[in-house]
């Protein structure tokens, strides 16, 4: 399994709209990727949040990252201003330990 975590800063007023656009426009595209497993969007409540994307392999994660980047550039940023949300950090790697109840 491979995971991508992206940290964002944004105007809290746009959070619900971005999540809604993600649910209708981004998630359906991600679900079509062979090897895609999960995607989470977390709002920390202070104008920052992060996304977590989980895929079976690096190729699927790369494809998901490309789709997410296009979604941000062509859907979110034009609607909410080209600096909102702002990407603060991006981390990705292979899962070395995992548990589930």
* Domain extent for 89: 2-94
Report whether 4 contacts 53 (CB < 8 A). Answer: yes
Q: Residue 99 domain-assigned? A: no
User: Coil, strand or helix: which one is 10?
Assistant: coil
- Any domain includes 44: yes
Looking at the structure of the chain, the number of domains it has is: 1
pLDDT in tens, 42-75: 988 888 889 999 999 999 999 999 999 899 888 8
Identify whether 82 is part of a domain. Answer: yes
Phi-psi region of 47 (alpha: psi -120 to 50; beta: other; left: phi over 0): left
Residue 33 lies in a domain: yes
DSSP letter string, 38-87: EEEEEE-SSSEEEEEEEESSHHHHHHHHHHHHHHIIIIIHHHH-TTSSEE
In CATH, what number is assigned to the domain containing residue 68? 3.30.70.100
Would 100 be classed as within a structural domain? Answer: no
Q: How far apart are CA 7 and CA 72, in angstroms?
A: 13
Is 101 within the bounds of a domain? no
Whether 46 is in a domain gets the answer yes
CB 100 within 8 A of CB 37: no
Is 60 part of any domain? yes
Nearest CA-CA partner of 89 in 5, 10, 7:
7
Q: What pLDDT, in 10s, does the model give residues 4-46? A: 999 988 888 888 888 898 999 999 999 999 999 999 999 888 8
């Amino acid at each position: 399994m491979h995971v991508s975590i992206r940290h964002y800063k944004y105007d809290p007023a746009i959070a619900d709209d971005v999540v809604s656009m993600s649910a209708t426009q981004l998630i359906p595209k991600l679900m079509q990727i062979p090897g895609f497993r999960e995607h989470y969007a977390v709002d920390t409540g202070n104008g920052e949040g992060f996304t977590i994307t989980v895929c079976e392999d690096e190729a699927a994660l790369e494809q998901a990252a490309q789709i997410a980047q296009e979604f941000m550039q062509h859907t979110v940023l034009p609607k909410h201003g080209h600096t909102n949300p702002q990407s603060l950090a991006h981390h990705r790697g292979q899962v070395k330990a995992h548990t589930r109840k």
